[in-house]
Structure formats: C-alpha cells, structure tokens
Structure 1
Amino acid sequence: MAFALHSLFLLCGISGLLTGVWSFPMKFYKDNNCPKDWTQLDSLCYIYEEELRSFADAEAICNILGGNLVSIHSGLENAVVLEVAKNGTAGFWIGLSDSLEADDYIWTDGTREDFTNFDVTNPSLPQPNSANGDCVQLDKNDGFWQTMGCADLAPYVCVMEAGH
C-alpha cells in the first residue's frame, strides 16, 4: 500500500510537471500563512478534523473556519489530501455530492468537477453509486472515493486559501 501511494504521488508529480499544473518545488509549510494546526501547500491551507460529523455539519464547520470541505482536482491533490489525513483511521468527507440532482456531482465550494477517483474496477461495487448515498468520502486505505449516506458520521478535511 505504501509503495502504491508513493508511486501514485510520484506519477502525479511528474504529470503535474509535464502539464505545468503545479510549480515546483512544491513545499509543505506548517503555520506559514495558515492558521495554527493547518498545513499549507502552495496557496491552500488544509486541516484534517477527526470529530465525526454528517456531511452537512462538516461543511458548516469548514465554513465557520473560513473554507469548505476539500475539493480535489487532480491525482496529486488527492495524494496531498491523503497525506494531510495520514493520522486518520477511516474514510473521511470531501466536498463532493449529488444531493441536489442524482448523478450530477458538484463541489461545495462551487468549483467544477474536473477530476474523480472512484474505483471503477470492481463491478460488484460500482462507484459512484447513489444507492449507497449522495455524499462522497475518500477511503484512507486505498485512496479511492466512495458514495455514502450524507447523514453518516465521518471525519473530514477542510481547505481554505492561505492568508485568511
């Protein structure tokens, strides 16, 4: 698992270099332009919250903190969010849901859905699957996303712009 995650991180990093999406050197900062206990990557601040919340409650807490549930727009960003949540033990909320209209996934921060990481290799557990729920968690064990019931309780990751 660790080898696969490191390989994914390396592959995504190389992809980012080739496409120019990320400027390198990419640096993690602690408490630079972010509030205490948040982790900065480039212009964003991330925090993993272990307190179990429903999807709506987690988004509300992130809003109170000055951000949103995390939106993920690349494989590299997915790996970064996994790293931020490395001390967690299970899946955690990210800001994607189709709760407004079935099979129309939107991010809570209003950004467009331009990347997904659902496990499409297992036909017995198709994802995304609104029958499981309308809100999305990132599974800490394999890095894939899965739909869950929005009222389920889970930890979550918030994101906000640095300097707030």
Structure 2
Amino acid sequence: MYFTWILVILCVGISHGQRIPDESSQGQQMHLYCTNRDQHSVLTDQTVFRGKSGPRGPPGEVEYHIINETIKDYLTDISGQIQAKLTQISPIVEKSSEDIEDLKAASGHTQTKLTEIETDIEGLKSVMAQMQEHLETLIWASRGITNIKTWYRAGNNNYYKLFSDLVTYAVAKANCKRLGGQLASAGYRDEDIRREILPLVKSGRSHAWIGLNDIRQENTFIWEDGVTANVSSVPWHDGEPNNHGGNEDCVDIASGFDWELNDNTCSVKNKYLCELEALFGI
C-alpha cells in the first residue's frame, strides 16, 4: 500500500510539472511509467503483465528496477529533509525541556518560600496574641480585676458580671466605674445581647440594678452610657414604670416580675450587673 502511494505522489509531481524528468534512464523511466497509465505493459523477467500503473497514454515498457531506484532516491531525499528538520527542532525541544524544569524548580522554590512565610505569619500572630493577652491582664489588674475570665463575654464582645453584694444604685454605679465599666447599658438595650446575658442575672435569684434611671427628669430615662431610652422599646413589666410613691427613679431587673424591668427607689439595696467594654475594641 505504501509503495503504491509513493508512486502516486511521484506521478502527481510529474503530471503537474513539479518534478521535471532529467535525461537519465531513471528520469525517462519514471516519465514513461507515469505517462502510460491506462494501457501499458511492465517487463519483468521476460513476463508481461497488464494493468494501470501510470497516467493515460499509449502502451509502453517500463523497467521496474529503475522505478524502484527512483522511489529509493525519493525516500532518501525525504528522509534527509526530515532529518534536517529534526536537527533544527532538537535544540528548541531541549531548551523548552530545560525551561520547563527551571519553571518547576522555581515554582517549588516559591511554594517553599510561601510556606515558610505563612509559618512565620502564624508564629507572629501567636506571639501578638500572647502579648495582647498579657497586656490585657495588666490593664484589668490595674482596674482591680484579677481574672477577666470570671466575667462573661457576650456576642457584642463586652464583658458582664453579676455582683452579689447588696448595694444602692449609687454604690453599684460607683463600683462598676471603679472597675473601668458601668452598670449594664449597651448590652441590655440590645434585645439579642439581653437574651444572652439574662441567664447570668437569673443565676442571682433576686433583683439586680442595671444602668438606667430618670433621676434628672421624670419619665426621661437615660442609660449610663448617655443614650436616651425609648420607653416603648424597654422591656418593662406590665404597669411599669409607675414611679410608685413618687420616688422611683432607678431601674432594676425584677425577679418577681418575670425578670422584666421595674422602676424602684434608688436607695434600695440590690445586686448589680456591671458591663466592661472590650479592650482595643476586639
């Protein structure tokens, strides 16, 4: 099959003038072979075979061994061209392979460096966390708080603690302030945080002061952080605030009122809930 295709290629070249037969017997035999296709005879060992071996034309005689030599020369020529191309391409392929290996090596080196940097960063984060914890401990200690872990840290990052000593509103306010905080205000007016810290208050099983009062002006309730309360949004117990006896200006969480808010006389002694803002805002 390959032999036949090579003959076809050679003959097409001659038919289209791409291959001009030279004066040699080889060139003449190829021309004869290709120009006598429909009816010709092939002389081999004195035996005549008929068939189609070349383009249309009158019968002729072709010496087949010369055709074989032509094919051999053609293959040698093609082989030489292929070898020349391979010789040209080989350095390019080799260089490309080297480049690929260099890239792989560089990539591996880069990945190693990235891993080292990530490890260093994690190490620095750990050191910073330790330093921050140490600094916080010093700050809390300066305020008289020996162990901040005894306080509850809520979802707003503020700390809360219920103190069991029974004191007036004014004393409770002063005690929280001495610790660097205030009676619970921001957290308690936030419904989600209030729900979160209410179990802490319930654990005391009695009334507890929070940071809300209308001492300055009746029925204008102010939180200890300076925010004016929207009375309708404060979780008052039914009928509160009522300023019973005309002297109820401070607010507590009333255990007997289903842990809802009640205005009470500021001189009453209750437990109290302090609030500390997180250091460094985190």
TM-score by length of 1: 0.71
Q: Matches of 1:112 and 1:100 in 2, distance apart?
A: 12
What's 2:279 paired with? Answer: 163
What's 1:83 paired with? Answer: 199
| Aligned pair partner of 2:181 in 64, 67, 71 | 67
What's 2:208 paired with? Answer: 92
One-letter identity of the residue aligned with 1:138? I
Matched, 1:56 2:174: no
State the Cα distance separating 1:136 from its structure 2 match. Answer: 0.5
Q: 4+ residue runs of structure 1 moved beyond 4 angstroms?
A: none
Matched, 1:102 2:215: no
Q: Give the root-mean-square deviation of aligned CA atoms.
A: 2.0
| Aligned pair partner of 2:153 in 27, 37, 40 | 40
Of 44-53 and 77-86, more deviation after overlay is shown by 77-86
Matched, 1:127 2:240: yes
Q: Matches of 1:119 and 1:85 in 2, distance apart?
A: 16
What's 2:264 paired with? Answer: 148
Q: Compare the two structures and name the one with the higher strand fraction.
A: 1
Q: Which runs of 5+ in 1 are unaligned?
A: 1-31, 121-125
State the Cα distance separating 1:74 from its structure 2 match. Answer: 2.8
One-letter identity of the residue aligned with 1:39? Y
One-letter identity of the residue aligned with 1:139? A
Q: Deviations over 1:43-84 (max 9, x none)?
A: 200000000010010000000011100012233222223122
Aligned residues, how many?
128
Q: Matches of 1:80 and 1:59 in 2, distance apart?
A: 22
Contact 2:220 2:229 (C-alpha < 8 Å) held by counterparts: no
State the Cα distance separating 1:117 from its structure 2 match. Answer: 0.6
One-letter identity of the residue aligned with 1:107? W
Q: Matches of 1:45 and 1:96 in 2, distance apart?
A: 18
| Secondary structure of 1:85 counterpart | helix
Q: Matches of 1:119 and 1:89 in 2, distance apart?
A: 17
What's 1:6 paired with? Answer: none
Q: Which runs of 5+ in 2 are unaligned?
A: 1-132, 141-147
Larger RCO, structures 1/2 (Cα 8 Å, 6+ apart):
1
State the Cα distance separating 1:134 from its structure 2 match. Answer: 0.7
Q: Matches of 2:205 and 2:274 in 1, distance apart?
A: 17
What's 1:137 paired with? Answer: 252
TM-score by length of 2: 0.42
Find the structure with the greater CA-based Rg: 2
Contact 1:89 1:140 (C-alpha < 8 Å) held by counterparts: yes
State the Cα distance separating 1:91 from its structure 2 match. Answer: 1.1
Aligned 1:10-25 pairs, distance under 5 A: none
Q: Matches of 2:163 and 2:244 in 1, distance apart?
A: 27
Contact 1:118 1:128 (C-alpha < 8 Å) held by counterparts: yes
State the Cα distance separating 1:38 from its structure 2 match. Answer: 0.7
Contact 1:130 1:147 (C-alpha < 8 Å) held by counterparts: yes
Q: Compare the two structures and name the one with the higher helix fraction.
A: 2
